[in-house]
Structure 1
């Protein structure tokens, strides 16, 4: 008898003999330490499809909008917000990084070298001041300001990514969006490399449900038209046509900046903008931060809420009193403060030290005067 459980770090489903219950082991997907739980009933596999069309085409999930020809006429329920998850559901810290001691040591050495040079310049006597030699000018100033630190981009954990896509694909449609939010760090944490992995591994999967989820996420991130009609076919020729479309597109754009790749997704014509707003909070890319401010002014309250959640997660800045449910004029005024603050810090911004770039906290309001006793 085996025990099946899910890695709490990457979502990979692990099978272990029941005799190992209670022991510690390492996840084969991400290498993190896990504890084998006590024996429990195996989760039932995904129920088989029972309804098929009369043609060779599979029934497509209809929770992400109608396809060509109008799609299903059944009323669909969209999750109210990304805040419907139970406490502790969001996987945080998947891509947290420890201190880079090599970078710290190099910076300390550079500062020490500059100080030594400055001391040598100050102690070196200048030329004698005679009428023929003219007036000696001041020594050149030595700049000690640090240069912008490049932001490291985590690599894609392919095993964890495929486990997350499989988990989402086997989840009931009513909670699928909530699970995408829960797996966001795995799905989007590698930035541009995550998009490439969704094309190569997700769309390239042999599982039609995984292909469907990967296609949905790609369309949400890039504003491109979904190819679900091809990728969800039983005809392998049609499936390969859908794969080739995404691969050709990726080969055309993979050398472009991430901001150019996702810019079309900010357009109001993209009905999946809330997913893009969620993903931007994990990209750690200076060029895509202004898109979060654009989405904070979106006409859809759900999109505004997702964008503000990403701003707080990525930049740690909640000091301007933004409220996604406020009136649009007030929202516009608040987002203007965010834009001005970002323009002043973006050149040197380090996503690993966001607290160093926060604006001053708002001043406390003066206490109200005591009531007049007379």
Structure 2
């Protein structure tokens, strides 16, 4: 629903504050993703410069309660991953307060660290060895990552999470960067985009994971398009062409060819272009019109302009996309990490 030409910041702050205070019934089935939902709400408030609406110390304490711990350091070699649980239902402790069921997940760990960083918690207070040493168990022979030690799909999403975790902890011992790079290179398709796994269709989310991970790992420079691309590890001109082709006539971005524009891809693909130094090629006015047309009368942003009800995922990435457009009322975003820019982020 188009609320006019303006960005309705206060309505959006109210929507995110409501989500941060207590998830509506519609989200209760997603309890296993509790940390991820909290990341969207808290990081969204930070983007809207409204982090004062939450108790930051209380948020940090709540997030830290999801951390999994081994009984002792010898358990770091037991094949398990000691990161953060996605929810309380995946965490059980014995009489000695040691996790007896470890449901740690790379995506939950990324969200936990991103929230802590957002609320100003000193990540140096977290022992990186426990997370990094056990995260090595998740990297596969081909360089990809599984999200959890009990087994699951392996693709670029979790490789990106691993890279972001290492970057935020300032500890790269948790992954073999060369092997990870080789896996990413195998995922670049003939058209320039990246698929989630080698040989799969190019996809906006997968392309973001590939490019952001390479940037965090130090394999591509900022604004690489303005420099010589001949020695770059990936085909930059083809990637830029594929990315720009995703902007539709309505101004929005599609995630794949022949798909409708979707608010989240304004961030996923917009961030790729931002990292590469090609964001100035975007039709910014048309993109802004599209994103503002997806504002809901209830606050938040919808997936498509014709939708009535907003949800957290598309609201957060809609706000992130508007931040890339430097919309007044929104703070700048470190697109590689998905957190608001702060003085201690140096890429």
Q: Into which bin does the TM-score normalised by the smaller protein fall? A: under 0.3
Larger Cα-atom Rg: 1
Q: Which has the higher contact order (CA 8 A, sep 6+)?
A: 2
TM-score, structure 1 normalization: 0.26
